[in-house]
Structure 1
Amino acid sequence: MKSAFLSRSTAAAFCAVAVAATTMLGSSASAAPNNSPSTPVEFPAADGQLMSYVVNAKSSNGSKTQDVLKAITAAGGVAVQQWPEIGVVIAQSQSAGFRTNVLKQGKSSVESVGATRTATVAEGTPEGIATPWQQSPQRQAKKLANADLLYGDATFDGTALDPREAEKWDQVQIKADQAHQLTDGSRDVLVGVLDSGIDPTHPDLVANIDVANSVNCANAGRPDSSPGGWFPTTSSHGTHVAGIIGAARNGVGIVGVAPNVRMASVKVVNDDGYIYPEYAICGFMWAGMKGMDITNNSYFIDPVEFWCDDQPDQAAVRTAVERAVKWSTDKGVVHAAAAGNASYDLANKTTDSDSPNDGTTIERQIGNQCKDIPTELDGVVTVSSTDQAGKLSSFSNRGLNVIDVAAPGSRILSTLPNNKYGLLSGTSMASPQVAGVLALMKSEHPGWKPKQLVSELRKQAEDHLCMPSATPTGSACVGKLRDNSYYGEGIVDALAAVM
Structure 2
Amino acid sequence: MSLTSRTRRLSAGLAVAALAFTTAGTASAVPAVSFAGSSSSASSATAASADGVLMNYVVNTKASLAHIRKVEAAVKAAGGTVVQSYWQIGVVIAQSTSADFRTKVLASDDVQSVGATRTAAVSEGPVGSAKASAKGLAAGEATVVPDPDEAKQWDMVQIKADQAHQLTDGSDRVLVGINDSGVDDTHPDLAPNFDAKDSVNCTGNGVPDTTPGGWRPTTSSHGTHVAGTVAAARNGVGIVGVAPGVRIASVKVVNDDGYIFPEYSICGFIWAAEHHMDVTNHSYFIDPWMFWCNDNGDQGAVQESVRRAVEFATKRGVLSVAAAGNSNYDLSNKTTDSSSPNDSTPVTRPINNGCLDMPTELPGVITVASTTQARAKSGFSNFGLNTIDVAAPGSGILSTLPGGGYGTLSGTSMASPHVAGVAALMKSAHPWWGPRDLAKALDRQADDTACPATPDPRCTGTTADNAFFGEGIADALDAVQRLW
When normalised by structure 1's length, the TM-score is: 0.88
Q: CA deviation at 1:2?
A: 4.2
2:237 aligns with one of 242, 248, 252:
252
Corresponding residue of 1:123: 124
1:477 aligns with 2:473: no
CA gap of 1:118–1:407, structure 2 versus 1, over 3 A, is: same
Unaligned runs of 5+ in 2: 21-28, 137-141
Given the two structures, how large is their TM-score scaled by the length of structure 2? 0.91
Q: Say which of 368, 374, 391 aligns to 2:359.
A: 374
The one of 275, 283, 286 equivalent to 2:268 is 283
1:231-269 per-residue CA deviation (whole Å, 9 max, x = no partner) reads: 100100000000000000000000000001000100001
Shift of 1:22: 6.0
Instruction: Give, in angstroms, the shift of residue 61 of structure 1.
Output: 3.5
CA distance in 2, matches of 1:242, 1:92: 33
Listed one character per residue, the Cα deviations across residues 438-469 of structure 1 (whole Å, up to 9, x for unaligned) are: 00000000000111110011000000011269
Contact in 2 for aligned 1:118/1:303 (Cα 8 Å): yes
Aligned counterparts, 1:62-141, within 5 A: 62-104=65-107, 106=108, 108-127=109-128, 138=130
Partner of 1:406: 391
Amino acid across the alignment from 2:433: W
Kindly provide the amino acid, as one letter, of the partner of residue 112 in structure 2: E
1:87-108 deviations in Å (ceiling 9; x for gaps): 101000000111111001x1x2
Q: Distance in 1 between matches of 2:155 and 2:76?
A: 52
Q: 1:263 to 1:482 in 2, by over 3 A?
A: same
Pick the aligned partner of 1:51 from 47, 51, 55: 55
Q: Distance in 1 between matches of 2:168 and 2:132?
A: 44
Write the mapping of 1:301-380 to structure 2, written as runs, cut at 5 A.
301-380=286-365
Structure 1 residue runs of 5 or longer lacking an equivalent are 26-36, 128-136, 145-156
Amino acid at match of 2:30: V
Say what the alpha-carbon RMSD is for the aligned residues. 2.4
- In the TM superposition, what is the alpha-carbon distance from 1:44 to its structure 2 partner? 1.4
Q: Secondary structure of 1:425's match?
A: strand
In structure 2, the residue corresponding to 1:352 is in which secondary structure? strand
Aligned twin of 1:385: 370
Asked if the contact 2:393/2:415 (under 8 Å) is kept, the reply is: yes
SS at match of 1:204: coil
Following TM superposition, by how much is the alpha carbon of 1:119 offset from its aligned partner in structure 2, in angstroms? 1.1
Q: CA deviation at 1:21?
A: 4.1
The code of the aligned residue for 2:119 comes to T
Distance 1:451 1:123, change over 3 A: same
Give, in whole Å, the separation in 2 of the partners of 1:10 and 1:331. Answer: 32
Offset of residue 43 of structure 1: 1.5
Q: CA separation of 1:304/1:408 partners in 2, compared to 1, >3 Å: closer, same or farther?
A: same
Q: For residue 19 of structure 1, what is the aligned residue in structure 2?
A: 30
Q: Which residue of 1 aligns with 2:26?
A: none
Aligned ranges 1:420-459 → 2 under 5 Å: 420-459=405-444
Quote how far apart the aligned CAs of 1:337 are: 0.2
Contact 2:174-2:428 at 8 Å conserved across structures: yes
Deviation at 1:62, TM superposition (A): 3.5
Offset at 1:19? 2.7
Q: Give the fraction of aligned pairs with identical amino acids, expressed as a percent.
A: 58
Residues 1:8 and 1:465: Cα distance change in structure 2 (over 3 Å): closer
2: CA distance, partners of 1:126 / 1:295: 26
Q: Relative to structure 2, which stretch is displaced further, 60-69 or 83-92?
A: 60-69
Shift of 1:391: 0.3
CA contact (8 A) 1:339 1:427 kept: yes
User: Relative to structure 2, which stretch is displaced further, 460-469 or 110-119?
Assistant: 460-469
Q: State the Cα deviation string for residues 281-313 of structure 1 (Å, max 9, x = none).
A: 000000000000000000000000000000010
CA distance in 1, matches of 2:270, 2:367: 20
Counterparts of residues 185-204 of structure 1 (less than 5 Å): 185-204=170-189
Q: How far apart, in 2, do the equivalents of 1:6 and 1:475 lie? A: 32
Q: 1:60 deviation in Å?
A: 2.1
| Distance in 2 separating the partners of 1:185 and 1:428 | 22
Q: Distance in 1 between matches of 2:126 and 2:363?
A: 32
Secondary structure, in 3 states, of the residue corresponding to 1:272?
coil
Residues 397-429 of structure 1, C-alpha deviations (whole Å, 9 max, x = no match): 000000000000000000000111000000000
CA shift digits 1:61-99 (9 cap, x unpaired): 333100000100011101010111111010000001111
Distance in 1, matches of 2:325 and 2:259, equals 16
Distance of 1:424 and 1:409 partners within structure 2 = 8
